[in-house]
């Protein structure tokens, strides 16, 4: 049941991060997919670290975990994919 909650929250977090990030051109499906992956990974880690079910009846914790995971994964992906400053290219 918790995985379904994190998938749903990951879709919301991916869409929210799409609006907050300054990058464009990655595509909606990629942003939503990375949001879901980040939310599921972060929710799983938060649940194991805290030794409690993060997505139980407290959806505020689940939302924080989903947003943190989606933000971390999307920021990392966009940072690694940033083509503005490649070595050897003139500035």
**Helical spans, DSSP H, in the chain:** 2-20, 28-50, 59-81
What global pTM score does this model have? Answer: 0.74
pLDDT tens-digit series, residues 3-47? 888 888 888 888 887 777 766 567 788 888 888 898 888 888 877
Q: What is the pLDDT of residue 84?
A: 64
Quickly state the pLDDT bin for 56 (edges 50, 70, 90): low
Nearest to 16 by CA among 57, 60, 74: 74
Average pLDDT score over the chain: 76
* Angle between helical axes of 28-50 and 2-20 (0-180°, round to 10): 130
Residues in the chain: 91
């Amino acid at each position: 049941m918790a995985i379904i909650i994190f998938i749903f929250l990951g879709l919301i977090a991916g869409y929210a991060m799409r609006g907050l990030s300054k990058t464009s051109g990655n595509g909606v499906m990629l942003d939503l997919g990375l949001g879901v992956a980040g939310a599921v990974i972060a929710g799983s880690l938060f649940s194991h670290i805290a030794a409690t079910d993060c997505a139980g009846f407290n959806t505020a914790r689940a939302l924080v975990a989903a947003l943190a995971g989606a933000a971390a994964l999307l920021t990392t992906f966009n940072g690694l994919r940033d083509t503005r400053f490649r070595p050897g290219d003139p500035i």
